[in-house]
Amino acid sequence: MPDQTRSARELELVEIAKRVLPGGGFGNVTTDVVIHEGRGSHVWDVSGNEYVDYLLGSGPMFIGHCHPDVVAAVQEQVTRGTTFFANNEHGILLAEEIVRAVPCAEQVRFASSGTEADAYAMRLVRAFRKRDKILKFEGGYHGMSDYGLMSLAPKQLANFPVAVPDSPGIPRSVQSEVVVAPFNDTDTAVKMIREYADELGGVIVEPFQRLIPPVPGFLAALREVTAQLGIPLIFDEVVTGFRFAYGGAQEFYGITPDICTMGKIIGGGFPLSAIAGRADIMALFDREKAGENFMTQIGTLSGNPVAAVAGLATMEVLRRPGAYERAYATGQGLMDGMNDMLRTAGIPGQVLGHPVMFDVIFTDGEIHDYRGVMRGDAATSKRFNQVLRQHGILKSDGKYYVSTAHTEADAKQTLDAFAAAVAAEVRLRKGAA
């Protein structure tokens, strides 16, 4: 087991953070670790403790930290300038590569975060359709905007289609503009889209919702009904874009939306996101073409050249033979090993997700939607994550992100750590019996 003693400097930084940051952190993951360095599939904290990293910066570092090709490209650009608030070569070429790779992308507009991209995409389709309502799915994550925070993780479940705000400060009026449907319930979703068709600006969905795969036919049904009714379909691919396949989840599942959003991987670890889609809808961003329907979208760092060149370098690495196969094989091995250990130990639980992003949900029965995930035993999950951390595995409370940089040795260490967590859980349950 790694020595995870805390240095005086790290403890000092933790105390400073408690004083100057609300909750002692940036609002993301645990505040008791201060990361100093990342290389490949590993990170080190200020105390020098080493971890196999399944946070991956919440997903952007799909080819690992400090990939030499990305570092070289960024270093070269930094000597030429870091931001211009004007068109730059790398941003233009990145847009061209997205159009080449992503099935729905005819044109691209950049922003700086997934939240921005999702908020702009929803505003774009509302402007296009001249309708105010958005239909989303319970448990779907679409950033931190008022619309996005409707029924993301409701603690008190409401009857569909009622939207539940997940944060104070959201105007009550927003509730009436969001229609909430159950993910993976094809018949109900189609019925609701038809029922609200005259009021909907668009439908937004994560094609792979957090950790939940779409059931067969679900995405195709959404595509069919929205196309019939002329309602734009948005795929939120901030997470899945360039991760499930080079063309994203829409390539992986063979379903093409009207609009998609992307982030994380396309910025290579720098703040960058994008809205992409049909040229006639994207034309609302063009003052000359849109006229009175022109939709203003301004961002100081949109299309930033450093982020763009990092994204281009990352994409070049992903186009190399075997990149995706390597990540898939590593993740599948982890998923299979964890499932086998849970089954052998008789611990109710299952590995839910996809080889490049998954987690363990401690519950029996099939999981098809947010309410199924809610059945999971949060206390057991917390205990497992604590043991994993003690054994040098860094992950969020709810997800493993797998990279192309993770090695067989990383996988072995992870499965050994998971075995220790299983053994600790078995002892705990025997003691309580």
Q: What is the pLDDT of residues 105-115, one digit of tens each?
A: 999 999 999 99
Q: What is the pLDDT of residue 206?
A: 98
Q: Is the pLDDT of residue 2 over 70?
A: no
Q: Please check whether residue 363 is in contact with residue 376, taking contact to mean a CB–CB distance below 8 angstroms.
A: yes
Mean pLDDT value of segment 327-355: 98
User: Is residue 342 very low, low, confident or very high in pLDDT (cuts 50, 70, 90)?
Assistant: very high
Q: What is the pLDDT of residue 433?
A: 66
Mean pLDDT value of segment 195-216: 98
- Phi-psi group of 304: left, alpha or beta (phi > 0 → left; psi -120 to 50 → alpha; rest → beta): beta
Q: Where is pLDDT greater, at 328 or 153? A: 328
User: For the chain, what is the mean pLDDT?
Assistant: 96
Percent of the chain's residues with pLDDT above 90? 94
- Active-site positions? 141, 236, 264
Q: What is the pLDDT of residue 408?
A: 97
Q: Is the pLDDT of residue 301 over 80?
A: yes
Mean pLDDT value of segment 167-171: 94
Distance CA 32, CA 51 (A): 14
Other C-beta atoms lying within 10 Å of the C-beta of residue 348: 14
Mean pLDDT value of segment 351-361: 98
Q: Is the pLDDT of residue 308 over 90?
A: yes
Candidate from 99-103, 217-221, 364-368 with smallest mean pLDDT: 364-368
Mean pLDDT value of segment 148-162: 91
Q: What is the pLDDT of residue 341?
A: 98
Q: What is the pLDDT of residues 5-58, one digit of tens each?
A: 899 999 999 999 999 999 999 988 777 899 999 999 999 999 999 999 999 999
**Fold adopted by 68-318:** Aspartate Aminotransferase; domain 2 (3.40.640)
Q: What is the pLDDT of residue 3?
A: 61
Q: What are phi and psi of 345, to 5 degrees?
A: -80, -10
Domain definitions of the chain by residue range: 1-34, 68-318, 321-350+393-401+412-433
Q: Is the pLDDT of residue 235 over 70?
A: yes
